[in-house]
Chains A and B, each alone.
Chain A
């Protein structure tokens, strides 16, 4: 395994050199690291592999860019101000309940689409101003958004990592509903209260009311909400009626954004679209770089080395390896972690009830969306609240992430005792 180890070290070394010594963008460092890996691994200059690897993230990139355009439209048209003011006016007397309700709203797009990015950039961007108006600081708001996005992605009815892990051993996606509900909602309520309750419980409503911007609501009435309602309808409709084709998240966001251009304040559409694409360009670049990186890792056998090393540990250490390696590998994407490590770990725990184990593994894999350099949930949460860097969000979310891991391990350890949760 010497060549694989050398290749791995070369890839990591070149990546760190590129990022920290040469101050290159993360995406470029990943490309260079992939090329170095291929050269050391004896695969020459792998042009075809670099391009092919990039294509692994085309769908994700399209979701990100269209979700960002949708978010900007909601902002510019005045819909964001309108919905923030309505929620605060209606629910300010019940702060704990309001926080839990906000968390469910943040999670909702993730529950429907299986994407934390969709959650953070759509419902997250709508709820962020509400939380901040109520006095929740920027950092805590971003942390709520990030954890809400991650837990929304895992909560039923749509959990793509669990589907990927299940498909690895041919178990259909059924019976996951209740276990996933128990794995996600208690944590979601715990985290939102942990981050927000102390700020919201003593909220001075009169002061907050003065800051609410209600002009767009008064001027445009109900039509201001049309793009939001349309987005929800388009996301849900084919899940409720499977005969209707799924048009895909990018089209859902684009159609809703196009409608939003005519339902509120007027704005320069071309400038808005350009700003949106500019703001997500670095993340799109990172995803392409990650695609190349993982392709070369697989090509050169580094992936096999990592997976075998994780599985070679004795029983107790295997739980630790799982807790560390799945979120870490998720740095290349939580779906990738579910596929590459989730399936082998599920196989290594086959004596346990597999639906509970697959659900718990998907919960742990989801933390990959908080892991740099991709850290999709963390990056977009910071971007939505207007923070220049996302590292404070990651630090703030360390404790919740640890709780998520422990909660996941609890479900795996007691999977057989918890099998009564599997209905249908």
Chain B
């Protein structure tokens, strides 16, 4: 009798486990269907990263590359969004650029999801949201909130220690799946290294003159509201940074450290001829000090815990900008898009034979400074999306 009861309990537990597996399994599988940008007026072609490195074909690391070819020849520029899937202003800036930009001179390549695999899952233990919705020109549109690292379904297990190729630098094993520790990549490496290699190949093949990598950081991280540039890009970055400051955007400029490897601003500058620039904005949903997960936190950039942290002097950014509490997505995307504008203008000034000229993309003023504060937190950004 007792044995029968145990068998029944075991069967019930097994049935419950199967039900949980099916429900959550379907949820996790759905996360692989990524929302993509709508083609804007300047998009001339949509290619895949595997067109530059065939080793990515058929993998979850193969990612769309939007090409915006200008009416006149000029320089070439690459914008990397979605290096880290938990830093939404990176890929939302890329979306905004793709859906609005008209290129007059030169060619612009935009990758909205640089680590596409990282967009298909969330970091265990971080309690992140999976999706957020914005009201756009065509109605509500849902976007993914992803992970900092490649999906373990695509690359697993992590080694105990990650040894960067080719420098030999050692980092924690989980960094093996961080594409911004994998550059310059290698064709026979792991999936993340292959994706990094694909980006480097695109840069080499298309002679990309200027590369942007768009990031966010937790407000308690020292390098924030900042631009980090490879030493070769410092003259352009300095000129662009002064323009940003004159436009009322607080921006610090740092030269890429030579002893920290795997990042775009170090390795793409060293292993290709591009001018590599990385920008960081303040993301309230990213740090260890953050409060409860919500759309207000992710899009509105507001968080009670960070208000407390600011009072404790723990933050490296002011928590109120122009009278607005927190760092709404419009401010963060505005910084990125204005940064791209100013740095690319500086590049064109320095290279008059290879200008990059575009229009139609909202900047810091349109998205944030001149916006009605009651609509910040997604609505203003949404109004620029199709």
Report which A residues bind B (CB closer than 8 A).
Answer: 1, 3-4, 41, 47-49, 51-56, 59, 62, 112-115, 158, 160, 163-164, 166-174, 238-239, 242, 245-246, 248-250, 291, 294-301, 303-305, 307-308, 311-312, 336, 339-341, 343-344, 347-348, 350
Contact = CB atoms under 8 A, between A and B. Distances in A.
B38 interface: no
A112 B170 CA distance: 13
Contacts of B289: 304, 307-308, 311, 344
A163 B161 contact: yes
B288 interface: yes
Contact of A172 (B20, B160, B171, B305): B171
B172 A4 contact: no
B160 A249 contact: yes
A298 B126 contact: yes
B127 interface: yes
B124 A291 contact: yes
A173 B291 contact: no
Contacts of B292: 3-4, 41, 299-301, 304
Contacts of A59: 157-158
6 contacts: A49-B127, A172-B170, A298-B126, A301-B291, A304-B288, A344-B220
Given A170-B260, A248-B159, A291-B124, A308 B305 contact: yes
A174 B168 CA distance: 11
Contacts of A115: 160
B160 A113 contact: yes
Interface in B249-280: 259-261
Nearest to B170: A173
Nearest to A343: B288
Given A248-B157, A249-B160, A298-B127, A173 B308 contact: no
B54 interface: no
Most buried by A among B157, B290, B292: B292
Contacts of B221: 168-169, 347
Given A160-B160, A307-B288, A308-B312, A51 B170 contact: no
B57 interface: no
Contacts of A311: 289, 309, 312, 314
B259 A340 contact: no
B293 interface: yes
B359 interface: no
Contacts of B122: 52
A344 B314 contact: yes
Nearest to B173: A160
B314 A298 contact: no
Contact of A163 (B27, B172, B290, B291): B172
B160 A246 contact: yes
A307 B289 CA distance: 6
A303 to B, nearest CB: 7
B24 A344 contact: no
A343 B291 CA distance: 17
Contacts of B220: 344, 347
Most buried by A among B125, B170, B173: B125
B24 A51 contact: yes
A164 B171 CA distance: 8
A48 B303 CA distance: 23
A157 to B, nearest CB: 8
A104 to B, nearest CB: 19
A158 B170 CA distance: 9
Interface in B199-233: 220-223
Given A1-B304, A291-B125, A298-B293, A340 B288 contact: yes
Interface string B111-145: 00000000000101111001000000000000000
B246 interface: no
B23 interface: yes
A361 to B, nearest CB: 13
Nearest to A290: B125
Given A59-B158, A300-B292, A304-B288, 17 more contacts: A1-B304, A112-B160, A163-B172, A167-B172, A170-B223, A172-B169, A172-B171, A172-B260, A298-B293, A299-B127, A304-B305, A308-B289, A311-B289, A311-B309, A343-B288, A344-B288, A347-B221
A305 B305 contact: yes
